[in-house]
Amino acid sequence: MTDLVVEADGGSRGNPGPAGWGAVVRDAATGALLAERAGYLGVASNNVAEYSGLVAGLEAARAIDPEARVEVRMDSKLVVEQMSGRWQIKHADMKRLAAVAAAVLPADRVTYTWVPRAQNGAADALANEAMSSRGGVVRDHDVPAPGDVTGPGDAVQPAGGTDVTRASHRARRPSGAAMRFDDEEPLTVVLVRHGETPMTTSKAYSGSSVPGPPLTSTGRIQAAQAADLAFRIGRDLWPDVPHPSELVASPMVRTQETAGAVGRRLGLPVHVDEAFAECDFGAWEGLVADEIEERWPGDLKRWHVDAAFPAPGGESIEDVGARVRAGLERLLVGGVDRTVVVVCHSVVIRAAIGVVLGAPSSVWASVRVGPASVSIVRLWADGEREVAVVGMPTDL
C-alpha cells in the first residue's frame, strides 16, 4: 500500500468570479512529484474552487494507487475541518462536492492536515495558472528510481514519463475544430436531451403544449448519467474547453427534472428559456405515428420533409429553428470563452445543429438524438460556427 500526499487549492478572482483549482500528488516518503492537475471552473466561489481541487487531487491519487493511504494538505481551514467532520457543511454546492470527495477513497485511508499558505505553493500556482489561462493541466510523472529522487517540490520527469499538459484551451481545440489563425475563443453550448419518459417509450409525439410527462425511472438514471458527463467537461473530458458555468433548460417537466440532476452535480442554478422548448405538435400531441397518419394522411411525412409545414394547430420545424437560433444568439451575447449546458429536446437539438451547420431545414429531421444524449456546438463572436459532437450517449 502506497503512502501519498495530496496538496490542493482553489481560488476565485471576485468570489464569486473566474475560478480555478490546482492539485498535486507526491510520494509521502520522498516528496517526489507524481501528478499535477488544474482546471478552470468559470464563475464560482473560492470554497467551491478549493473543494474542486480536493476532488481532483484525490482522484489523481486513486489513479496512482487505489489502495493508497492519503494525507491531504490544504491551507483552507474550512475544507480541512469540514472534511474531518468537525465543522458542519451548510452550503449546497460545498455539501455536494464534499460528498463527491468523500466517495473517492474510503474514509479510513484519508486524513486531512491544515498547512500555512506558504507550504501549499505548488497547488496555488496551478490554480492561478488555470484562472489565467482558462485552461487545464494534466501532468503525470513516473515514479523515480532510487538515487534519482530530487528534493520535495522539484518536478520529476524522467524519460518515459507522460506529459499531457493542457496548458490552455487557446492553444488546442477539440478534434474537428474549424481552421483558424487567431486565438479567439468561442461560446461552447452543450445540448443535452432530456431522459426517457413514458411517451419516449411509446413513441408518441410529446411537445410543448402540455407540461408533462415526467421522467421514468430509467429516465432519472439517464439524467444522473448526463449530469456526471457534464461534470467531466473541462476536466478529463474535453479538457480544452471551460468547465460549464451556466445551465439553461426548456420549461417542460422532463427537461426541468433532467436539468435539476445536472444542476446538482455542477452546483449551478437552472435558468428557464422558452426558446429551447420542444416543438408544439398541436393536434398531434400524445398520438403515435399510425394515429396521425390515419387522421391526417400524408401530413406527418410532409411535416418532416417540408420544414415550413406546421403541425395542425402547432409549429413547423422552421418555426422551432427560428426561436432556437434566437436563443443561441442570446447566449452568444452573454459572452464567449465559456461553456453553457442547455437541457432541451430532440427537435430543438436537430434544429440547433442544422442552424449551426447552415444545412437545409428539410434534412434537420435526419439527425439522430437519443434520450439523454449530448451534442455540442460552438459559436464565435465573428459568426463562425462548428458542430463538435452529435448525439453522444451519456452512459459511457
Is the predicted pLDDT of residue 338 greater than 90, yes or no?
A: yes
Same domain, 100 and 64: yes
Question: What is the identity of the amino acid at 342?
Answer: V
Same domain, 383 and 237: yes
- The mean per-residue pLDDT over the stretch 103-110 comes to 94
171 lies in some domain: no
169 lies in some domain: no
Alpha-carbon span 269 to 261, nearest angstrom: 11
- The mean per-residue pLDDT over the stretch 290-298 comes to 96
What is the pLDDT, as a whole number, of residue 145? 43
Does the pTM surpass 0.85? The reply is no
- The mean per-residue pLDDT over the stretch 356-379 comes to 93
Same domain, 317 and 366: yes
Domain range holding 43? 3-163
Banded pLDDT at 246 (limits 50, 70, 90): very high
181 lies in some domain: no
CA dist 254 to 194, 217, 222, Å?
6, 12, 12
Q: What is the 3-state secondary structure (H, E, C) of the chain?
A: CCEEEEEEEEEECCCCEEEEEEEEEEECCCCCEEEEEEEEEEEECHHHHHHHHHHHHHHHHHHHCCCCEEEEEECCHHHHHHHCCCCCCCCHHHHHHHHHHHHHCCHHHEEEEECCHHHHHHHHHHHHHHHHHCCCEEEECCCCCCCCCCCCCCCCCCCCCEECCCCCCCCCCCCCCCCCCCCCCCEEEEEEECCCCHHHHHCCCCCCCCCCCCCCHHHHHHHHHHHHHHHHECCCECCCCCCCCEEEECCCHHHHHHHHHHHHHHCCCEEECHHHCCCCCHHHCCCCHHHHHHHCCCHHHHHHHCCCCCCCCCCCHHHHHHHHHHHHHHHHHCCCCEEEEEEECHHHHHHHHHHHHCCCHHHHHHCCCCCCCEEEEEECCCCCEEEEEEEECCCC
Q: What is the pLDDT of residues 344-357, one digit of tens each?
A: 999 999 999 999 99
What CATH number did the domain enclosing 131 receive? 3.30.420.10
174 lies in some domain: no
Choice among 50, 59, 185, 278 that is catalytic? 278
Q: Give 91 or 85, the one with higher predicted confidence.
A: 85
What is the pLDDT, as a whole number, of residue 153? 36
Same domain, 301 and 218: yes
Number of domains in the chain: 2
What is the pLDDT, as a whole number, of residue 277? 97
Is 278 an active-site residue?
yes
Banded pLDDT at 207 (limits 50, 70, 90): very high
What is the pLDDT, as a whole number, of residue 69? 95
Banded pLDDT at 274 (limits 50, 70, 90): very high
302 lies in some domain: yes
Is 50 an active-site residue?
no
What is the pLDDT, as a whole number, of residue 181? 62
281 lies in some domain: yes
177 lies in some domain: no
**Which residue bears the cell 481532483?**
56
Banded pLDDT at 93 (limits 50, 70, 90): confident
Banded pLDDT at 171 (limits 50, 70, 90): very low
118-122, 226-230, 251-255, 295-299: least confident range: 118-122
Same domain, 191 and 158: no
Same domain, 370 and 295: yes
Same domain, 204 and 154: no
- Residue 24: all three cell numbers together: 498535486
- Residue 363: all three cell numbers together: 434534412
Q: How many CB atoms lie within 10 A of CB 48?
A: 23
248 lies in some domain: yes
What CATH number did the domain enclosing 220 receive? 3.40.50.1240
Q: What is the pLDDT of residues 2-30, one digit of tens each?
A: 899 999 999 998 888 888 999 999 999 88
Q: What is the pLDDT of residues 66-88, one digit of tens each?
A: 999 999 999 999 999 999 999 99
Same domain, 255 and 295: yes
23-32, 161-170, 208-217: least confident range: 161-170
Same domain, 212 and 297: yes
What is the pLDDT, as a whole number, of residue 143? 53
What is the pLDDT, as a whole number, of residue 180? 59
Choice among 7, 169, 185, 194 that is catalytic? 194
Last residue of a domain, one of 163, 179, 204: 163
Is the predicted pLDDT of residue 283 greater than 60, yes or no?
A: yes
What is the pLDDT, as a whole number, of residue 165? 37
Last residue of a domain, one of 148, 163, 178: 163
Banded pLDDT at 179 (limits 50, 70, 90): low
Same domain, 125 and 257: no
Same domain, 234 and 362: yes
Same domain, 271 and 155: no
Is the predicted pLDDT of residue 172 greater than 80, yes or no?
A: no
